[in-house]
Amino acid sequence: MTLMGFRESWSDPMTSRLARSQLFVGDEAIRSECQKLTAAEALEPIVGPNVDHEVKSGSGCPGKIPDGRDDAETLDSRPMHHAEFVVLHNAKLKGFASAEALVQSSGLPIPEVEKALAQLADVGHVMYREGRISGWAATTAGREAHKSHLTQELTESGHGPAIRACYEEFLVHNAELLAVCTAWQVRDIENNEMNDHLDSDYDDGVRDRLAGLHVEVVPICRDLTGQLRRYSAYEPRLDVALGKVRQGLNEWFARPIIDSYHTVWMELHEDLLATLAINRASEPQL
């Protein structure tokens, strides 16, 4: 197997699982499962709201969708509430997620997430995908609504320049995060030597590099939160992941199917790109 190092890869909702499968040059089991999931998704049914507004069991939104609005008002004719946008935003960033994962990434309590998912499903902005792994995904209409709301949010807040400054500072540290993750996976790229995690001194050294990077990114997260409150969940999520890495739970360093340090970092990166309407392909390589 040719080792290419640790490569950050994030894509649109239809291909994000394939992108994640390319992240781990040394974890064939994860890569195989992600590739199977990507292929299977094309065949699995999409479950959306039906006439009775029923939500499939296991979706995180049991029962009927709350429907107390006036008949003259439709959900897609009114401004999107904050919780709805935050949930849609996180669903878009993740590509595919359970309600529980959206609670974790949004920082919102489960009742708010469930209500927001129900309302978003009612207007066709999200759909519930049921299969071997079930979860929520933004629809085409949802992605368009998300993009429009991001533009409106940035314009009305006036925080665009400050967020761009945070993004540019974040980019300075992004290459180091990728280098640290590569070091965690691969000890010697040229000689195809994987890190078997049997050398505690080596692993401790890489953990220390991650902890040092964390010190640099926390002020950026706080600055972003001061501009837009929806950024408030990133710092505690990174704190939790780093804490687990320090406890010796190695999967919390970079595994893509959990809220690992690298997963949260990638979502923050994608969040900044989406907020500022920056095409990743045009992003400067630092």
Tens-digit pLDDT profile for the chain (286 aa)?
A: 333 444 444 333 333 333 333 343 333 343 344 334 333 333 333 333 322 233 333 333 333 333 333 333 333 445 678 899 999 999 999 988 999 999 999 999 999 999 999 999 999 999 998 887 789 999 999 999 999 999 999 999 999 999 999 999 999 999 999 999 999 999 988 888 999 999 999 999 999 999 999 999 999 999 999 999 999 999 999 999 999 999 999 999 999 889 999 999 999 999 999 999 998 888 877 6
| CB distance 81 to 106 below 8 Å | no
The reported pLDDT for the residue numbered 286 is 60
CA atoms within 13 A on the CB side of 121: 31
The reported pLDDT for the residue numbered 80 is 77
First to last CA, the chain: 28
The reported pLDDT for the residue numbered 192 is 83
Q: Smallest Cα–Cα separation from 210: which of 171, 269, 250?
A: 250
Examine residue 31 and state whether it is found in any structural domain, yes or no: no
Owning domain of residue 54: 44-156
148 & 168 share domain: no
Single-letter amino acid code for the residue at 118:
A
The reported pLDDT for the residue numbered 6 is 46
Q: How far apart are CA 206 and CA 137, in angstroms?
A: 35
Q: How many CB atoms lie within 10 A of CB 71?
A: 5
222 & 144 share domain: no
Examine residue 5 and state whether it is found in any structural domain, yes or no: no
Examine residue 208 and state whether it is found in any structural domain, yes or no: yes
Residue indicated by tokens 């507004």 = 53
pTM, full prediction: 0.74
The reported pLDDT for the residue numbered 284 is 74
The reported pLDDT for the residue numbered 254 is 95
The reported pLDDT for the residue numbered 256 is 87
Last-in-domain residue among 102, 130, 156? 156
176 & 274 share domain: yes
E-strand spans in 101-148? 126-129, 135-138
117 & 53 share domain: yes
The reported pLDDT for the residue numbered 100 is 94
Examine residue 16 and state whether it is found in any structural domain, yes or no: no
Structure confidence by residue, pLDDT tens digits, 13-39: 333 333 333 343 333 343 344 334 333
Last-in-domain residue among 141, 156, 171? 156
Contacts of 154 (CB under 8 A, 6+ apart): 160, 163, 275, 276
| CB distance 70 to 77 below 8 Å | no
Tokens describing residue 280: 């990743």
84 & 55 share domain: yes
Supply the mean pLDDT for the chain. 78
pLDDT cut 70: percent of the chain above it? 72
| CB distance 186 to 6 below 8 Å | yes
Examine residue 21 and state whether it is found in any structural domain, yes or no: no
195 & 141 share domain: no
Last-in-domain residue among 156, 191, 221? 156
Q: How far apart are CA 247 and CA 62, in angstroms?
A: 36
What's the number of domains the chain is made of?
2
